[in-house]
Amino acid sequence: NDNTGGNNSSTANTTINALVDLAITKTSGSTFVVGGSASFTVTPNNIAGFGPTSGVITVVDTLPTGLTYVAAGSGGAGWACGSAGQTVTCTSSAVIAAGASGTTITINVTVGSNAVPSVTNTVTVSGGNEPAANTGNNSAVLTVPVSNMAVNTFLTDGAQTGLPGTSVLYPHIFNAGLSGSVSFATSDISSPATPGWITQVYRDTNCNGTLDGAEGAAVLAGSINVNPGDQVCLIVRSNIPAAAPFNGQDAITVTATFAPTAGPTTTYTRQDVTTVGAAGGAGLVLSKSVRNVTQGGAAGTNNNAKPGEVLEYIITYSNSSSAPISMIVINDNTPNYTNFITASCGAPLPAALTACTVSAQPAVGVGGNVQWTLTGSLNAAQSGTVIFRVTVQ
């Protein structure tokens, strides 16, 4: 018999590690702007202290409303990605060692207007032989701000008087806030209907408001590529037919069609109104400025405004000839996307004018034609003003 008893057993400690503990991160270095493109970067990880993954790993990213998946450029080495609606699913059988990260996944999107002011995106990871007990860290949430599309602007409406058989010029400026291309077109309606009105569009390369040198040699055709901050200057020439009657008008709509690099095509319109003057009115000159009443800004040929703000348009009439001008009628139209408030005549009137009346105007809160009739004569070198105000929609 063995009576010692003290050495008949031994102990060894064994630490049993769980098979896998997956985690995931989601980041983005993009600026999210309506109409633009952006991307997310998704990275699966295997927590240190556990074993390597085995089998298929699945990453699921359910995109929020306002983001649309773009397959081109999406995915990552070793990942097979596809989408069904807003759900993007990527799978891989590549092994992720303990304490290591898997190959990153890029998810490209386009940004819609319903993504403003922010979107929250959740991504999950599963599989890889991970036990259910370790799935508490299998998701990541990222919220990003979304701003509205940068703004293009197209300036400005015009109104001039010219004699039959002559031409008048209207300058316009397209300011690009987005990358894309822009093209221009015109349409016109004469009143009374008179054949022979012709409208032409030219590129004003030096943006000085006149046709210099070769600028008037060929009409503008095709589209122009633009980047944010670019400016495209135009001259619209209104050719008055020789048979046009006194006080006849041609209402010209100038349309800028903008095709952005990403997103829907947008159109912008301005309006020019040409009025036929009498032979005795050859010296009548009209100029127009605008000021933002709400912001208290100064008057100029260009200005800025926000919805709800009030703009005041000032039309200055003057006589550049050596003889008096009579039977003066001034016509203008409220700009697109504005509502009429009021119209008036500037004071005091030039000495030989006996009256100034607003002879036509739209109802308050809508748009349309504004007309002033001047009674008496405008003597040589004299000038005056007529005014109207609108609210920006």
Tell me: pLDDT of 104 over 70: yes
State mean pLDDT over 47-51. 91
What does the block give as tokens for 152? Answer: 């293009």
What does the pLDDT read at residue 253? Answer: 97
Supply the mean pLDDT for the chain: 90
Tell me: pLDDT of 15 over 70: no
Tell me: pLDDT of 319 over 90: no
Please provide the distance, in angstroms rounded to a whole number, between the alpha carbons at the two ends of the chain.
108
Tell me: pLDDT of 17 over 70: no
What does the pLDDT read at residue 309? Answer: 93
What does the pLDDT read at residue 10? Answer: 55
* Separation of CA 150 from chain center: 5
What does the pLDDT read at residue 11? Answer: 55
Amino acid occupying residue 275: T
What pTM, to 2 d.p., does this model score? 0.45
What does the pLDDT read at residue 152? Answer: 85
- Stretch among 260-264, 309-313, 362-366 having the lowest mean pLDDT: 260-264
**Cα–Cα distance, 139 to 159 (Å, whole number):** 62
User: Which residue did the predictor score with more confidence, 188 or 277?
Assistant: 188
Given its phi and psi angles, is residue 137 left (phi above 0), alpha (psi -120 to 50 degrees) or beta? alpha
What does the pLDDT read at residue 7? Answer: 60
Helix locations, 167-273, DSSP H: none
- Residue 325: pLDDT band (50, 70, 90) is confident
What does the pLDDT read at residue 5? Answer: 54
125 Cβ contact partners less than 8 Å away, ≥ 6 residues apart = 22, 23, 24, 44, 57, 58, 59, 60, 138, 139
- DSSP for 71-120, please give it: EEEEE-TT-EEEEETTEEEEEE-----TT-B---EEEEEEE-GGG-SEEE
Q: What percent of the chain has pLDDT over 70?
A: 94
pLDDT digits (tens, 9 = 90+) for 134-164: 999 999 999 999 987 777 899 889 998 888 8
Tell me: pLDDT of 263 over 80: no
What does the pLDDT read at residue 123? Answer: 97
CB 339 within 8 A of CB 388: no
**Cα–Cα distance, 35 to 178 (Å, whole number):** 9
What does the pLDDT read at residue 2? Answer: 53
pLDDT digits (tens, 9 = 90+) for 202-261: 999 999 888 888 898 999 999 999 988 899 999 999 999 998 888 899 999 999 999 988
